A and B are shown apart, each in its own frame.
Chain A
Amino acid sequence: MRMTGERLWLRLEPWLPILIVGLGLIGWETASRAGLLSPLFFPPPTKILNTLLQMIINGKLLPHLSATLSRLAIGFSIGGLSGLVLGLGMGWSPRLRTVVDPLIAALHPIPKIAIFPLIMIIFGIGEASKVVAIAIAAFFPMLINCMSGVRQLNPVYFEVTENYGASAWKTFSRVVFPGSLPSIFTGVRLAVNMAMVIAIAVELLAAKEGLGVIIWFSWQTLRIEELYASLIVIGVLGFGINLAIQSISRKLAPWQVEQSERQE
């Protein structure tokens, strides 16, 4: 009897989140339509979905979406790449680490959005300051994960490369980089998420286009369905990016994925 109960549970388990969300949405829909929830602030989900479709069809969404995405792409590339290079370098070279680590420790905890005015003073109120803010947001998680990725490599790997007379480049390309790949991918995921947060935040503050802009305008003009619709877009975007990173990391670092899956 217990066996079948357990088996039933196992079969239901993957559907549980969908079930909970579905029930929640149905509850929201009925409550909103019945007037139990203010339809102005909590419009029924079907209405939100309809608004979202409208925004897609009439082309209102696209320029904002592409503005956010291109900022994200450029900012993330700059910040992520510098974090990668400096992080791997700091992981590998104790000397570099002792010099730069205190600096990182001091700068990292500063909320990135708090220095945005400063960034605007330096880089102007145009596109550059937004990209820089996103880059800074991506930089730190990338750097910290890359550094710890190298540092947690078993020292015996370096004895092996030294033993076989590997050059510094060989040691980097065959050991330091591939060995840190799993941590690098963790860094990429965290960095993308941070970059996304800051991208939307700076758009709320100062931008003409972007998902953050829609959110702000829909709040000011009380078109709350549009606010919800943009939140859905951001959520789906984040989910998709994370999924993509996960599948790339599965491809490029298969040993790690299989190891961690076996532990589960």
Chain B
Amino acid sequence: MVFECIELSKSYVSRGAEVTALQSVDFTVREQEFVCIVGPSGCGKTTLLKIIAGLIEPTSGKIVFSIPQSNGHLRSAMVFQEQGLFPWMSVQDNVAFGLETQGISLAERRELASDFIVKVGLAGFMHSFPHELSGGMRQRVAILRAFLANPHILLMDEPFGALDSQTRLVMQEELLRIWRDHRKTVIYVTHDIEEAILLGDRLLVMSGRPGRIRQEINIPLERPRHLANRDHPEVAEIRWHIWKMLEDEVRKDLSILS
């Protein structure tokens, strides 16, 4: 086991009104597991990731980590929804940033970053600034940064949410490839049901307002997975099952009568 969320709740107070973003969220994550959290937007997915990352405190409940806290080794690194790269740093320095806080010398972290960048075929953009890259490339760089920091847990917040669907497919494959080489525990947040099924070992389906976990689903697809898995009958079945579960909620949210 890597960590366990126990009765996590989080409320925000904005303009006097209290919004319950998460309510009694309970789950366990195992070593090297790829867990996808799927749910409609606004259901508290980002909030949950930030609590796991230690960026915000839960209102109640707690997370118990059972990984050794060794010095200079990050517990988790987060890939943010967008704009997570520093516009004033080159691609190389952005990727190396995660090592910079771990006391690794400039020469060494530049070399490690270059190796990584070259390996994924971004060598030509080593010294470019983020605004010179396409949206897809930027997210690849953000992912490289998180992987290179070598955290125990990788937290990904809809990293491909802003990309077009073709680019997204390619990126999903690449993510799985990098993950195969650098096995880590991954918590991957998405609102895309199909993406969650293709990537995850296990799905946590969330429902919104207040956000809670409706169901846990194991994905029995074999690894390594490929784009071809999309047409697997099992995928279609799970997708339909999840969609039915969330349908009422989405309709309710849009005030559509069924």
Check B84–A160 contact: CB distance below 8 A: yes
B97 touches A174 (CB 8 A): yes
Judged by a CB distance under 8 angstroms, whether B149 is at the interface is yes
- Cross-chain contact A159 with B80 (CB below 8 angstroms): yes
| Total B residues in contact with A, Cβ cutoff 8 Å | 24
Q: A106 vs B146: C-alpha distance in the bound complex, in angstroms?
A: 46
* Contact residue among A154, A156, A170, A253 (Cβ-Cβ distance under 8 Å from B88): A253
Binding site of B, secondary structure by majority: helix, strand, loop or mixed?
loop
Task: Assess whether A259 is interfacial by the CB under 8 Å rule.
Answer: yes
B245 at the interface (CB under 8 A from A): no
Contact A175 B86 (CB under 8 A): yes
In Å, the complex CA distance between A253 and B131 comes to 13
Contact of A174 among B53, B76, B100, B132 (CB under 8 A): B100
A-B contact count (CB 8 A): 63
Chain A contact residue count (CB 8 A cutoff):
25
Asked whether B131 lies within 8 Å of A165 as measured between CB atoms, the reply is no
* B 88-105 binary contact with A (CB < 8 Å = 1; else 0): 110000000110111000
Q: Are A163 and B55 in contact (CB under 8 A)?
A: yes
CA distance A166 to B98 in the complex (A): 9
A163 touches B78 (CB 8 A): yes
- Chain B residue at minimum C-beta to C-beta distance from A179: B88
A154, A167, A170, A258: the one contacting B83 at CB < 8 Å is: A154
Residues of chain B contacted by A170 (CB below 8 angstroms)? 100-101
Closest chain B residue to A259, Cβ basis: B131
Report whether A174 and B86 are in contact in the complex, using a CB–CB cutoff of 8 Å.
Answer: yes
Closest B-chain residue to A162, C-beta based?
B55
Contact with B98, one of A164, A178, A179, A259 (Cβ below 8 angstroms): A164
What 4 A-B pairs come out closest when comparing CB atoms? A178-B88, A255-B129, A164-B101, A166-B101
Known: A159-B80, A256-B88. 13 other contacts (CB 8 A): A156-B84, A157-B86, A163-B76, A164-B149, A170-B101, A178-B86, A178-B88, A178-B89, A179-B87, A179-B88, A253-B88, A255-B87, A258-B131
Report the separation of the CA atoms of residues A258 and B86 in the bound assembly, to the nearest whole angstrom: 15
User: Nearest Cβ in chain B — how far from A33, in angstroms?
Assistant: 55
B-contacting residues of A (Cβ < 8 Å)? Answer: 154, 156-157, 159-167, 170, 174-175, 178-179, 181, 253-256, 258-259, 262
Chain A residue contacts of B112, Cβ below 8 A: none
Nearest residue (CB) in A for B98 is A164
Q: How far is the CA of A254 from the CA of B90 in the complex (A)?
A: 11
CA A256 – CA B129 in complex, angstroms? 10
Give the residues in chain A near B53, CB-CB below 8 Å.
163
Check B129–A258 contact: CB distance below 8 A.
yes
B77 within 8 Å of A (CB atoms) = yes
Q: What CA separation (Å) do A162 and B65 show in the bound complex?
A: 19
Q: How far is the CA of A256 from the CA of B131 in the complex (A)?
A: 9
CB neighbors of A among B57-89 (8 A): 74, 76-78, 80, 83-84, 86-89
Contacting residues, chain A, for B149 (C-beta < 8 A): 164
* Chain A residues, CB < 8 A from B77: 163-164
Query: Is B131 in contact with A255, judged by CB distance below 8 angstroms?
Result: yes
Separation in Å of the A34 CB from the closest CB of chain B? 57
Question: Are A165 and B86 closer than 8 Å at their CB atoms?
Answer: no
In this complex, which of B77, B80, B88, B149 has the most chain A Cβ atoms within 10 angstroms of its Cβ?
A: B88
Chain A residues, Cβ within 8 Å of B87: 179, 255-256, 259
Q: Specify which of A154, A253, A254 lies most central, judged by the most chain B CB atoms within 10 Å of its CB.
A: A154
Q: A174-B86, A255-B88, A255-B129 are in contact. Are A159 and B78 (CB under 8 A)?
A: yes
Output the nearest chain A residue to B94 by Cβ-Cβ distance. A160
**Distance of A160 Cα from B151 Cα, bound (Å):** 14
Contact with A along B103-133 (1 / 0, CB 8 A): 0000000000000000000000000011110
Contact at A167–B101, with CB atoms within 8 Å? yes
User: In whole angstroms, what is the CA distance A166 to B83 when docked?
Assistant: 18
A254 with B86: in contact, given A159-B55, A163-B55, A164-B149 (CB under 8 Å)?
no
Which of A161, A163, A166 has the most B CB atoms < 10 Å from its CB? A163
Q: What is the CA–CA distance of A167 and B87 in the complex, to the nearest angstrom?
A: 20
20 pairs, A vs B, C-beta closer than 8 Å: A154-B83, A156-B83, A157-B86, A159-B55, A160-B78, A160-B80, A161-B101, A163-B53, A163-B76, A164-B98, A166-B100, A174-B86, A174-B97, A181-B88, A255-B130, A256-B88, A258-B129, A258-B131, A259-B87, A259-B131
